[in-house]
Amino acid sequence: MTPTKLLELFRLETDDISEPYLWSDKEFFIYLNEAQEIFVREIGGLSDRRSSLTRMTYKIGDQFKKYDSRILRISGAQDEDNKFIGVRNFDNINNAIVDDYGARFLNTLDDTLTGSLSYIITDVEAKEIQLYPIPDTAGSLKLFIKRLPLNEVKDEDSILEIADQYHLCLLNWVKYKAFMKQDVETFEGTKAAEFRGAFTDAIALAKREKASREDRKRKVAFSW
């Protein structure tokens, strides 16, 4: 459903159909943008391997690289030869980096080590990844990420990035914000709480549906 259709439905359902409106179009789109961003954050982000956010280049000697603030998590990476580059979180780095035979080869990060890029390490610095070892050749990376929407919802020409089946639930957050507007004609705390609850329920359902689609470890039983 387009933002325009959602705006029309919002006005019908709140009986805000005559000018001057209780809530302006600008307010509606601010609320709708907020609703989509909260929804996306709560479900863990949108999967992406193709947008410009997933491309990163590095030079010889680059130890840290900034990444876009819309990226919530980097789940994988490949170099220009389609070789997988390990992604490790700094908090569990000591238990995570192993050699080709499965043996741990790193007890701590050596900030002087150079060589062929093998790992990117997250959460070392805010909004930066560490390249490890420090690359001795220039190259590029293709990232597999979870991210926020690429663009804000600003007007009727904007595009919602979440799946179509969740568009209507965004109106629950819009109505929550609308009825929390501090104005004698708009503030209705009880209604606002009901719509916020409905939005929370919709997110919980979306999380369950997402979990059911993701790969899970399965037990294999053998019969003899």
pLDDT in tens, 172-212: 999 999 999 999 999 999 999 999 999 999 999 999 998 88
At residue 97, the pLDDT reads 57
Q: Flag whether pLDDT at 137 surpasses 50.
A: yes
At residue 110, the pLDDT reads 85
At residue 199, the pLDDT reads 98
Question: What are 187's two structure tokens?
Answer: 């503030």
At residue 109, the pLDDT reads 79
Instruction: Name residue 140's beta-bridge partners.
Output: 57
2 phi and psi, to 5 degrees?
A: -80, 155
At residue 213, the pLDDT reads 82
At residue 94, the pLDDT reads 59
Q: Flag whether pLDDT at 216 surpasses 80.
A: no
Burial (CB count within 10 angstroms: exposed 0-12, middle 13-18, buried 19+), residue 33: buried
Beta strands in the chain (DSSP E): 46-48, 55-58, 64-66, 71-79, 84-89, 114-115, 119-125, 128-132, 134-135, 139-147
Q: Flag whether pLDDT at 217 surpasses 70.
A: no
Cβ pair 156, 1 in contact under 8 A: no
Q: Flag whether pLDDT at 224 surpasses 60.
A: no
How large a percentage of the chain has pLDDT more than 90? 82
At residue 41, the pLDDT reads 98
At residue 66, the pLDDT reads 96
pTM: 0.87
Q: What is the mean pLDDT of residues 97-106?
A: 55
